[in-house]
Structure 1
Amino acid sequence: MAVALLELEPGLDRELGRGPLRERGPEREARLVRQGPLQGARQGSYEGLHGGSYEDSQGGAYGGVRQALGGESAAGCPLDDGCAFDRTVPRRLVHRSAVSEVLLTRWRALGDNTFEIAAQWPRGHSFYTPMGHRAHDPMLVAETLRQAGLLIAHAEFGVPLGHQFLMWGLTYEMTEEGLRLDGTPAAVTARATCHDIKTRGRSLAGLRLAVELHRDGVLVGRGETSFHCVSPSAYARLRPIDLDRAWATAEAPLPEPVEPGLVGRDRAQDVVLAPTGEGNAWSLRVDRRHPVLFDHPVDHVPGMAVMEGMRQAARLAMGSAPAMPVGFSADFARYVEFGSPCTVVAEVEGPAEGGGSVVRARVVQDGVTAASGRLVMLPVAV
Structure 2
Amino acid sequence: MPRASVHKSATAEVLLTDAVHLGDDRFAVAAVWHRDHFLGHHGAPASDPVLLAETARQAAIHLSHRFHDIPEDRPFVLDEVAVELDEALPPADAEPLALGLDIRCRRTAGPSRRTGLELDAVVRTAHRRPGRARVRWEVIEPRRYAVLRKRGAPEPGTPGEPEPAATVPVPAHLVGGRQEHDVLLAADPARPDRWWLRLDLGHPVLFDHPSDHIPGMALVEAFRQAVLVTVGDGHRADGSEAARQVRILITRFTSFGELNLPVSITVESAGGDHGAGPETAFTLRAVQGERELASARVVCATPHSGRRPEGAAC
Sort the TM-score into its range (normalised by shorter chain).
0.7 to 0.9
Q: Deviations over 1:81-110 (max 9, x none)?
A: xxxxxxxx1111111100000100001000
Counterpart residue number, 2:209: 296
Counterpart residue number, 2:142: 232
Taking the aligned partners of 2:285 and 2:91, their CA distance within structure 1 comes to 29
- For 2:283, which of 347, 360, 379 is the aligned residue? 360
Counterpart residue number, 1:159: 70
Tell me whether 1:264 sits opposite 2:176 in the alignment. yes
Unmatched runs of 5 consecutive residues or more in structure 2: 152-164, 304-311
Tell me whether 1:148 sits opposite 2:59 in the alignment. yes
Counterpart residue number, 1:375: 298
Tell me whether 1:100 sits opposite 2:5 in the alignment. no
The alpha-carbon deviation at position 177 of structure 1 amounts to 4.8
Taking the aligned partners of 2:116 and 2:179, their CA distance within structure 1 comes to 38
Counterpart residue number, 1:5: none
The alpha-carbon deviation at position 255 of structure 1 amounts to 6.0
The alpha-carbon deviation at position 294 of structure 1 amounts to 0.6
The alpha-carbon deviation at position 342 of structure 1 amounts to 0.9
Counterpart residue number, 1:190: 101
Taking the aligned partners of 1:98 and 1:215, their CA distance within structure 2 comes to 25
Taking the aligned partners of 2:299 and 2:88, their CA distance within structure 1 comes to 16
When Rg is computed on C-alpha atoms for both structures, the one with the higher figure is 1
Taking the aligned partners of 1:256 and 1:162, their CA distance within structure 2 comes to 39
User: For the Cα contact (< 8 Å) 1:107–1:115, is it kept in 2?
Assistant: yes
Where in structure 2 are the equivalents of 1:77-226 lying within 5 Å?
89-130=1-42, 133-198=44-109, 205-226=115-136
Where in structure 2 are the equivalents of 1:34-49 lying within 5 Å?
none
Percent identical pairs in the alignment equals 35
Where in structure 2 are the equivalents of 1:34-73 lying within 5 Å?
none
Unmatched runs of 5 consecutive residues or more in structure 1: 1-88, 242-252
The alpha-carbon deviation at position 357 of structure 1 amounts to 2.6
The alpha-carbon deviation at position 124 of structure 1 amounts to 2.5
The alpha-carbon deviation at position 233 of structure 1 amounts to 1.5
Taking the aligned partners of 1:256 and 1:279, their CA distance within structure 2 comes to 12
Counterpart residue number, 1:248: none
Counterpart residue number, 2:266: 345
Tell me whether 1:273 sits opposite 2:185 in the alignment. yes
Match of 1:107, SS? strand
User: For the Cα contact (< 8 Å) 1:195–1:210, is it kept in 2?
Assistant: no
Match of 1:211, SS? strand
Match of 1:341, SS? coil
Taking the aligned partners of 1:181 and 1:121, their CA distance within structure 2 comes to 6
Taking the aligned partners of 2:250 and 2:35, their CA distance within structure 1 comes to 25
User: For the Cα contact (< 8 Å) 2:34–2:40, is it kept in 1?
Assistant: no
Match of 2:132, SS? strand
User: For the Cα contact (< 8 Å) 2:39–2:51, is it kept in 1?
Assistant: no
Taking the aligned partners of 1:198 and 1:90, their CA distance within structure 2 comes to 29
User: Structure 2-normalised TM-score?
Assistant: 0.82
Taking the aligned partners of 2:255 and 2:194, their CA distance within structure 1 comes to 20
Partner letter of residue 155 of structure 1?
A: R
Partner letter of residue 139 of structure 2?
A: C
User: For the Cα contact (< 8 Å) 1:214–1:220, is it kept in 2?
Assistant: yes
The alpha-carbon deviation at position 117 of structure 1 amounts to 0.2
Where in structure 2 are the equivalents of 1:316-331 lying within 5 Å?
316-318=229-231, 319-320=233-234, 321=236, 322=239, 323-324=242-243, 325-331=246-252
User: For the Cα contact (< 8 Å) 2:41–2:176, is it kept in 1?
Assistant: no
User: For the Cα contact (< 8 Å) 1:170–1:330, is it kept in 2?
Assistant: yes
User: For the Cα contact (< 8 Å) 2:49–2:83, is it kept in 1?
Assistant: no
Taking the aligned partners of 2:88 and 2:223, their CA distance within structure 1 comes to 24
Match of 1:297, SS? coil
Partner letter of residue 226 of structure 1?
A: R
Taking the aligned partners of 1:347 and 1:232, their CA distance within structure 2 comes to 37
User: Structure 1-normalised TM-score?
Assistant: 0.68
Q: Deviations over 1:105-163 (max 9, x none)?
A: 00100001210000111123244314x53211221101011101001101111111121
Say which structure, 1 or 2, has more relative contact order (CA 8 Å, 6+ apart).
Answer: 2
- For 1:307, which of 201, 212, 220 is the aligned residue? 220
User: For the Cα contact (< 8 Å) 1:314–1:360, is it kept in 2?
Assistant: no
